């Protein structure tokens, strides 16, 4: 993978629906990119998104976009079922690619994209937007610096009275956010090795509207995610518990996004005792301070744009590269299999 110079990178946004306008706004605001095209099957929608940006061309001709030699990169914001076709065409045209989550509709399709990008030495980045929030960035730093100690558990809740999707269940709709955060925050030695999922469809729409996902981590720790379209209240919290400290992220509390607790449970027994003996010994409770680290406010998608540009210029894989997107897909597919098997634990394949 080779880098490029310092001139703005020509870019096209493909898809002008729900997420496309956010990409257009952030790429327009970036000095790293020159937005040249917005492409959508409905050209009037592309024109509506551009509004005052008269120097950018709206089109419904994707072939014309890919034929433009000034386009170095393509940002894909189309439905997941089209990601393989759209992103693969861009890679084969020699363009770097940013893909909205999930990376593809299936793990097999995701692998095609990853292999194509690697074969051509191109950047393939997954838009795992939450990973670029100041809060999640800080949590990653705390975990990887050992500030929390050994990770013992992760617990996340993502619930709201949401839009029931026509083509996917609540796991595929909401859990990619939590799974991408988990993948981003945890070191490789702590990645998930197995998953079990349970779901319910209490309103009879034909797919799970409430689901619980439990992951076994390689270290022996456990991670859990609760996703729900039917909750009358909106909750967005993640807790990462370690042997030294625990951090809680409340995304809906702008005054105190994260809280770091020096509180927990310690077992006052030598490490060399057998497990049965250790359990019988005294448990002590640690009750230290709670601090709320100061965080700057920054739009997460701005961080995505910056990382996309940096990875292209430096000729390196982005923090949320295609393989990160593929790991999320593998967990989702295993969770779907677990649902079909009544919540059975499904091992995850070894990463290739």
Per the prediction, the chain carries an average pLDDT of: 92
Q: What is the pLDDT of residue 164?
A: 84
Q: What is the pLDDT of residue 172?
A: 94
pLDDT in tens, 53-68: 678 999 999 999 999 9
Bridge-based pairing of strands 96-100 and 124-127 is parallel
pLDDT in tens, 42-97: 999 999 999 876 789 999 999 999 999 999 999 999 999 999 999 999 999 999 99
Gap between the Cα atoms of 292 and 144, Å rounded = 19
Least confident interval from 6-10, 16-20, 160-164: 160-164
Q: What is the pLDDT of residue 163?
A: 82
pLDDT in tens, 276-322: 665 666 666 667 788 888 888 889 999 999 999 999 999 999 999 99
Domains, the chain: 9-129+310-316 (3.40.50.720), 134-297+331-347 (3.30.360.10)
Q: How buried is 25 (Cβ within 10 angstroms: 0-12 exposed, 13-18 middle, 19+ buried)?
A: middle
pLDDT in tens, 164-214: 888 889 999 999 999 999 999 999 889 999 999 999 999 999 999 999 999
Q: Is the pLDDT of residue 352 over 60?
A: no
CB atoms within 10 A of CB 341: 12
Q: Is the pLDDT of residue 217 over 80?
A: yes
pTM above 0.85, yes or no: yes
> Region 247-253: what's the mean pLDDT?
95
Query: pLDDT over 70 for what percent of the chain?
Result: 91
Peptide bond into 109 cis (omega under 30): no
pLDDT in tens, 331-347: 999 999 999 999 999 99
Q: What is the pLDDT of residue 351?
A: 63
Query: pLDDT over 90 for what percent of the chain?
Result: 82
CA distances from 69 to 10, 87, 161 (A): 9, 17, 45
- How much is the CA Rg of the chain, to the nearest whole Å? 22
């Amino acid at each position: 993978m080779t880098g490029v110079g310092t001139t703005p990178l020509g870019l096209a946004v493909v898809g002008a629906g729900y997420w496309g306008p956010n990409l257009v706004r952030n790429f327009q605001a970036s000095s790293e990119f020159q937005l040249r095209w917005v492409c959508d099957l409905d050209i009037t929608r592309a024109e509506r998104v551009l509004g005052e940006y008269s120097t950018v061309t709206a089109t419904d001709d994707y072939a014309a976009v890919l034929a433009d030699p000034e386009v170095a990169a393509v940002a894909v914001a189309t439905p997941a079922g089209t990601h393989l076709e759209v992103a693969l065409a861009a890679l084969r045209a020699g363009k770097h690619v940013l893909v909205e989550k999930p990376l593809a509709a299936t793990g097999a399709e995701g692998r095609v994209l990853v292999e194509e990008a690697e074969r051509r030495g191109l950047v393939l980045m997954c838009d795992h937007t939450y990973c670029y929030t100041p809060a999640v960035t800080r949590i990653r730093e705390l975990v990887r610096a050992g500030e929390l100690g050994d990770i013992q558990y992760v617990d996340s809740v993502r619930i709201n009275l949401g839009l029931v999707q026509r083509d996917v269940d609540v796991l595929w709709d909401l859990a990619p956010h939590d799974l991408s955060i988990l993948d981003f925050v945890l070191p490789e030695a702590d990645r998930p090795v197995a998953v079990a999922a349970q779901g319910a469809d209490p309103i009879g729409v034909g797919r799970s509207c409430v689901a619980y996902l439990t992951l076994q981590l390689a270290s022996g720790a456990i991670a859990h995610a609760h996703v729900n379209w039917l909750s009358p209240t909106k909750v967005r919290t993640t807790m990462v518990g370690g042997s030294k400290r625990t951090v809680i992220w409340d995304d809906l509390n702008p005054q105190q996004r994260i809280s770091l607790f020096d509180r927990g449970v310690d077992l006052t027994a030598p490490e060399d005792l057998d497990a049965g003996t250790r359990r019988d010994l005294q448990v002590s409770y640690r009750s230290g301070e709670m601090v709320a680290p100061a965080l700057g406010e920054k739009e997460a998608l701005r961080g995505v744009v910056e990382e996309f540009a940096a990875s292209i210029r430096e000729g390196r894989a982005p923090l949320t590269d295609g393989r990160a997107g593929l790991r999320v897909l593998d967990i989702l597919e295993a969770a779907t299999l677990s649902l079909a098997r009544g919540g059975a634990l499904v091992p995850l394949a070894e990463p290739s």
